[in-house]
Amino acid sequence: MIDPSKVGTDWQAAELDAIVATYFAMLAAELTGRPYVKAHHARGLMARTGRSHRSVEFKHMNLSSVLADLGLPTIRGYKRKDNIQGAIFPAVERYLDAHPEAWGIGLSLSSPFHGEGDREAVEGATRRWPSTNEPDQSSFASPWSGQDAPPSAILPITAPPPLGPARKPRPEGLARIVRKYDPAARDHRNRALGQWGEEHVLRHERAFLIAHDRPDLARKIEWTSQERGDGAGYDIRSFDPAGRERLIEVKATRGGPATDFFLTRTEREVSAERPDAWRLYRLHDLAAAPALFQLKPPLEAAVTLTAETWRAGF
């Protein structure tokens, strides 16, 4: 099955196109609960390409790296490997340009809002996966209200990505497609993704306080962005177990922890005005294995802030 002449050689465009398509097929199956066997797909790729099992698995892990940086979910078990052949980036680009529905993967059926998001993602998702009626966003109420949050609602806490020189720069090919597709902008304008992330954090906060014997505080948690509007500079008003107020801004992504995100002027101003209370919860890998890390002011100590737009006044 293995072609000896290919050992140690770069994968060609047709081979990369095949493994990218297979990766997305497995990812769609995983996120929609359909059974699949990784080994069967690997053997099929080995037969088509003449590559070894080790080479196929390594390329799958390369694809996890690329998709995570593009703000997309990845297959569990294929941990990211960042030593990536440059030709893989245009292969991913070819697939995404030909299959715009891929941007809705992990959202169209997993989210309680079923497919709200980028127009091209929604239209593609309805072609590829069954459609579901969407709730009225204007009257949305969290299904957790009035219920005890189970301990399983407490999300794993991860470390923030390193800042500056400690962070390995992206290869130019990856940096180019990240600029092209702009995952931060996609996440920012995807209202369903934002609300889905906020609901996860609501459940997390409630379960955390109950686990720390503070059900009284758990009952006082406020979903501020829903109850008072989206301009408060935070999404959720919660508490720590000692009763100190926490003003939580939620930034959600289906991608990995290093996916960029947008911060509004109001959010930054409130973080500076209330550094004792304001916290940013970065919720990542939302579709597959949700986890979060927390940032506290000053934000410049943890992230690099870059101006994207300017308000013009007279």
pLDDT of residue 166: 61
Q: Return the CATH class of domain 182-301.
A: alpha beta
Residue 314: per-residue pLDDT: 87
Pick out the chain residues at pLDDT < 70. Answer: 1, 108-149, 164-167
CATH 3.40.1350 residue ranges of the chain are 182-301
pLDDT of residue 269: 96
Q: What is the pLDDT of residue 115?
A: 35
Task: For 95-123, write each residue's pLDDT tens digit.
Answer: 999 999 999 887 754 443 333 333 333 33
Angstrom distance (rounded) from CA 110 to CA 214: 31
**What per-residue confidence (pLDDT) applies to 132?**
29
Q: Which of 228, 238, 165, 251 is nearest to 206 (CA)?
A: 238
pTM of the model: 0.79
Q: CA 256 → CA 238, 285, 287, distances in Å?
A: 25, 5, 11
Q: Fill in the amino acid letter for 77.
A: G
pLDDT of residue 109: 41
